[in-house]
Amino acid sequence: MRIEKDTLGKVDLPDNVYYGAQTKRAVDNFPISGLKMPRRFIKAQGIIKLAAVRANGSLRLIDKKRFRAIEKAALEVIKGIHDNHFVVDVYQAGAGTSQNMNANEVIANRAIELLGGKKGDYKFVHPNDHVNMAQSTNDSIPTAIYISALEAVQDGFVPALKVLQSALSDKSREFNRIVKSGRTHLQDAVPIRLGQEFSGYAAAVKNDIHRVQKASVSLLHLPIGGNAVGTGINAHPKFKNYTIREIRKITGIKFKSSVNLFEGIQNVNPALEISASLRGVAVTLIKIANDIRLLSSGPRTGFAEIKLPAVQPGSSIMPGKVNPVMAEMLNMVCFQVIGNDTTIAYAAQASQLELNVMMPLIAYNLLFSIEILSNAINVFTGKCLRGISADVKRCREFAEASLALATALNPITGYSSAAEISNEAYKTGKTVRQVVIEKGILKEEEAKRILNLLRLTRHSK
């Protein structure tokens, strides 16, 4: 054990941990969920501390020995070497002060060790004076949110969406000549090609990609350098620009400073914006997943127009039953994302005066949404979508049986007469094609031409 002191007094700590007194107090004060900030967020904290010490080093505000030790320790945090020392619960002190100090203390104690000292001997490297130099929780935590979220979107989420869009486009081409009955209000509608249906899914995902990318632009604006309230107190006038420059070098992303540092610290609206775009993706995916479940329902008593890959048994009591588990999983994830977005919206509107104090909750939920949605999309695409096949015969039968086929007769018989034909087909159990031929409304060759299913699904020019 070792004893550390902070402004409230002494704290006992295990000697093998890199975190210090303030982190230990937070662990004791907030035994809430057992949830910790994800790897990407901790990496972003390391990036900020690395960029800050390099900026302060360039400005000659810190000596070379401390600079090198802090730099090495921050690089180790970025690599994930010390993740098990980031121990503060997500539900913690407002704004994320405990989370910021967790990073400061881990890096300080590791730097002390590199300099040959013992953990807790802060005359070597101090977590506040040296690691946190020219920073505040209030500008570093939102900066960490934006860095981690943007990297997660660029590295995992958008690529997953693009693969999904490509797979949907492939299915659209594969199913291009398969005609089926369209359905509106879950009732018979005019014919549509299965490929056209899937092209709608692909286009919806493509539009969502554009929305996510547009929303991501706001994450490029970092409030680092504003310090506690936006004034940059205790920071060198060049600190902000030097730190942003270093963050750009480390990440390879063209981050820039918030247009107004006061606004950048008062609000966490970039997180709100990107979360809203995730919610939009979730809504699109719920629609697609629900359609997949409907179209594959059966196999004997449902639509059964498509067949899904069988990935696991579907029932503990009904032998041979196979369920659309991948679509069900995707729905569950999307519902969670929508719930997370609601949480983020409430947390974002909780900003008061100069600061939003709900940032740890925003950070966790935002990164959680990006992670589970990325993973769900990849699994759904690989284990379900790519293996979907069509029942061509059943699709054709439904298309022929649709009472809405009478719509094609409107230009010939008028709407009212076409409705009578549709009603008679329904009452007699015959197809629209059979009724118009039997009644002599159309000759067989005319019916073949006018009610040609492929022709009826051609796009209008």
Give the active site residue among 33, 210, 315, 389.
315
CA pair distance 193, 365, nearest whole angstrom:
40
> Is 185 labeled as catalytic in the residue annotation?
yes
> Is 374 labeled as catalytic in the residue annotation?
no
N-to-C CA span, the chain:
79
Contacts of 189 (CB under 8 A, 6+ apart): 181, 182, 183, 402, 404
- Look at strands 256-257 and 221-222 and give their pairing: parallel
Give the active site residue among 185, 316, 416, 460.
185
Task: Give me the active site residues, please.
Answer: 185, 315
